[in-house]
Chains A and B, each alone.
Chain A
Amino acid sequence: MTAVLEVQGLTTRFATPDGEVLAADEVGFTIGPGESLGVVGESGSGKTQIFLSIMGLLAKNGRSTGSVRYHGKEILNLPAGQLNEFRGDELAMIFQDPMTSLNPFLKISRQMTEVLREHKGLGEAEARKRGIAMLELVGIPEAARRFDMYPHEFSGGMRQRVMIAMSLLCEPDLLIADEPTTALDVTVQAQILELLARLKRELGMAIALITHDLGVVAGLCERVMVMYAGRAVEVAPADLLFRDPQHPYTKGLLLSMPRLDEAVSHHELATIPGQPPNLQALPKGCVFADRCPYVFERCRAERPALAPNAPSRLKACHLERLQ
Chain B
Amino acid sequence: MLAQSPMDILEPVGSVEGRSLWQDALRRLLRNHAAVVSMVVLTLIVLAAILAPWLSVHPFDEVYWDRIAMPPDYAENFWFGTDNNGRDLFVRCLYGARVSLAVGIAATAISLLIGVIYGAVSGFLGGKIDEAMMRLVDILYSLPFMFFVIILMVVFGRNMILLFVALGAVQWLTMARIVRGQTLSVKRKEFIEAAHAAGVSNWRIVMRHIIPNVLGPVIVYVTLTVPEVIMTESFLSFLGLGVQEPYTSWGVLISEGAGQMESAPWMLIYPALFLGVTLFCFNFIGDGLRDALDPKDR
Contacts and interface: CB of A to CB of B under 8 A. Distances in A.
Any A–B CB pair closer than 8 Å:
yes
Contacts of B13: 275
Interface string B8-21: 01010100000000
Contacts of B3: 268
A40 to B, nearest CB: 24
A82 B67 CA distance: 74
B11 A274 contact: yes
Interface string A267-306: 0100101110000000000000000000000000000000
Nearest to B13: A275
A274 B9 CA distance: 10
Nearest to B10: A273
Nearest to B16: A278
A278 to B, nearest CB: 10
Interface residues of A, number: 5
B14 to A, nearest CB: 8
Contacts of A271: 9
A275 B9 contact: no
Q: Main SS of chain A's interface residues?
A: loop
A268 B8 CA distance: 15
Nearest to A291: B11
Interface in A227-271: 268, 271
A18 to B, nearest CB: 12
Contacts of B11: 273-275
B6 to A, nearest CB: 10
B15 to A, nearest CB: 13
B287 to A, nearest CB: 19
A274 B13 CA distance: 9
A268 B9 CA distance: 13
Nearest to B14: A275
Contacts of A268: 3
A275 B16 CA distance: 13
Nearest to A274: B11
B269 to A, nearest CB: 41
A271 B8 CA distance: 13
B3 to A, nearest CB: 7
B235 to A, nearest CB: 38
A277 to B, nearest CB: 12
A70 to B, nearest CB: 36
A312 B101 CA distance: 77
A275 B11 CA distance: 9
Nearest to B31: A17
Nearest to A273: B11
7 contacts: A268-B3, A271-B9, A273-B9, A273-B11, A274-B11, A275-B11, A275-B13
Interface of A: 268, 271, 273-275
Interface of B: 3, 9, 11, 13
**Nearest 3 pairs between A and B by C-beta?**
A274-B11, A273-B11, A268-B3
